[in-house]
């Protein structure tokens, strides 16, 4: 069994402030450690379920947050950013049996995480697909579906986990924290590790086909920017339309074209 793990940090247990996610800040190291623990737990759960090959994408900020020596020897780790439109699931293809998401967070425009955002948190206010707010899970679970790989597990904040259930109720989740205004309420870090390992194992021992997500026949992408100047500039991207001073749209039946647009416009 070949498994892919995409690891982010803003949905890691206890994280509440941007300083805890940024490599050069003093608060970062202890939360980096917890991110590593949660990814390791997912790897160990996968191994218990029979995974003989695991790929991990270090998918936060610099792409240099994980410590490769902590993980099982059957693990390959993607560090840094190639610039491929698959972004946080770079190298994912139809040879994988399942994809897991750890440390993920609620979408831009959400109230469920103080650090809620979708892709570029500085320029992008929100992203919508077919009128619904899209999280980074949405974007990359659809990428997985594009190559025929089921998304079977997600850990992160409670709001995201509830949204995941709307995609497919068979996807297992572990909610490690809940956002309330600028605060978070988190479970114990050790409990998060235990639950992630257990739920990943159970997810991969289940019928993976039940977790497949069906792609829409057409995609209406909407990107809302913090500044009208960004929206104006990006409205000149081929196929993009300026629908209001801070919002552009893009329509395609090919999801890869949506991912390409997100890559260049966020």
For the stretch 215-228, pLDDT in tens is 999 999 999 999 99
Indicate if 117 belongs to the active site. yes
pLDDT at residue 230, rounded to an integer? 97
State mean pLDDT over 18-37.
Answer: 97
107 annotated binding-site participant = no
The single residue of 107, 112, 117, 140 carrying the catalytic annotation is 117
| Residue 52 annotated as binding site | no
Does residue 228 have a known ligand-binding role? no
2-111+135-211 CATH fold? Rossmann fold (3.40.50)
Q: How confident is the model at residue 17, as a pLDDT?
A: 98
Domain boundaries, the chain: 2-111+135-211, 219-265
SS3 133: strand
Identify whether the C-beta of residue 145 lies closer than 8 Å to the C-beta of residue 215: yes
CA–CA separation, 185 vs 135, rounded Å? Answer: 21
Rounded CA separation 186/113 (Å): 11
Q: What is the structure's pLDDT at 134?
A: 98
On whether the pTM is more than 0.75, the answer is yes
Instruction: Identify the pLDDT of residue 185.
Output: 98
**Residue 8 marked as a ligand binder:** yes
Return left, alpha or beta for 20; rule: phi > 0 is left, psi -120 to 50 is alpha, else beta.
alpha
């Amino acid at each position: 069994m070949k498994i892919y793990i995409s690891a982010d940090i803003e949905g890691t247990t206890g994280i509440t402030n941007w300083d805890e996610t940024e490599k050069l800040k003093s608060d970062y190291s202890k939360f980096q450690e917890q991110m590593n623990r949660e990814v390791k737990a997912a790897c160990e759960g996968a191994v218990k379920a029979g995974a003989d090959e695991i790929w991990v994408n270090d998918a936060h900020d610099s792409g240099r947050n994980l410590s490769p020596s902590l993980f099982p020897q059957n693990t390959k780790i993607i560090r840094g950013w190639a610039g491929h439109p698959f972004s946080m699931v770079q190298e994912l293809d139809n040879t994988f049996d399942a994809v897991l998401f750890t440390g993920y967070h609620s979408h831009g425009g959400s109230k469920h995480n103080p650090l809620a955002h979708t892709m570029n948190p500085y320029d992008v206010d929100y992203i919508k697909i077919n009128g619904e707010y899209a999280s980074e899970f949405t974007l990359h679970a659809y990428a997985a579906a594009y190559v025929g790989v089921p998304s079977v597990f997600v850990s992160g904040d409670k709001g995201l986990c509830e949204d995941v259930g709307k995609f497919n109720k068979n996807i297992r989740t572990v909610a490690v924290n809940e956002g309330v205004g600028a605060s978070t309420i988190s479970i114990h870090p050790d409990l998060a590790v235990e639950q992630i390992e257990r739920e990943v194992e159970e997810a991969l021992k289940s019928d993976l086909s039940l977790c497949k997500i069906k792609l829409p026949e057409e995609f209406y992408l909407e990107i809302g920017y913090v500044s009208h100047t960004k929206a104006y500039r990006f409205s000149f991207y081929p196929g993009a339309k300026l629908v209001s001073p801070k919002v552009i749209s893009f329509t395609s039946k090919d999801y890869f074209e949506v991912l390409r647009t997100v890559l260049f416009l966020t």
